[in-house]
């Protein structure tokens, strides 16, 4: 799995079934506010359930919530992969 500097990846880069801690949004603001309200906030451990081909949506599990995000939006979520 490709990783950026400091071991931080974009959510789109995680493998199916891999988990990560949300460390930020790039760029911040805007839709990040909405994601936070849905429970996808900094420090939250999330698991990628599925990534659809053709730059399709990414499905993540965050606590009891399962959310599907468009590809560009998912790419804005920065995560630190955890085992």
Dmax over CA atoms of the chain, in Å, equals: 30
Residues 11-30 that bind another protein (CB under 8 A): 16
Question: Which run of H or of E encompasses 78?
Answer: strand 77-82
Q: Is 54 in the site for another protein (CB under 8 A)?
A: yes
Which one of 3-11, 18-26, 34-42 is the stretch in contact with another protein (CB under 8 A)? Answer: 34-42
Cβ atoms of residues 74 and 4 within 8 Å: no
Task: Give the Cα separation of 18 and 8 in Å (integer).
Answer: 14
CB closer to another protein, 1 vs 37: 37
Instruction: Name the residues that contact another protein, by CB under 8 A.
Output: 16, 31, 33-39, 41, 49-57, 59, 62-73
């Amino acid at each position: 799995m490709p990783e950026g500097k400091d071991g931080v990846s974009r959510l789109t880069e995680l493998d199916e079934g891999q988990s990560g801690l949300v460390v930020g949004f790039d760029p911040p603001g805007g839709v990040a506010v909405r994601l936070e309200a849905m429970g996808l906030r900094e420090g939250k451990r999330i698991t990628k359930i599925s990534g659809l081909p053709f730059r399709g949506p990414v499905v993540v599990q965050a606590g009891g919530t399962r959310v599907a995000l468009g590809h560009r939006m998912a790419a804005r979520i920065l995560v630190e992969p955890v085992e």
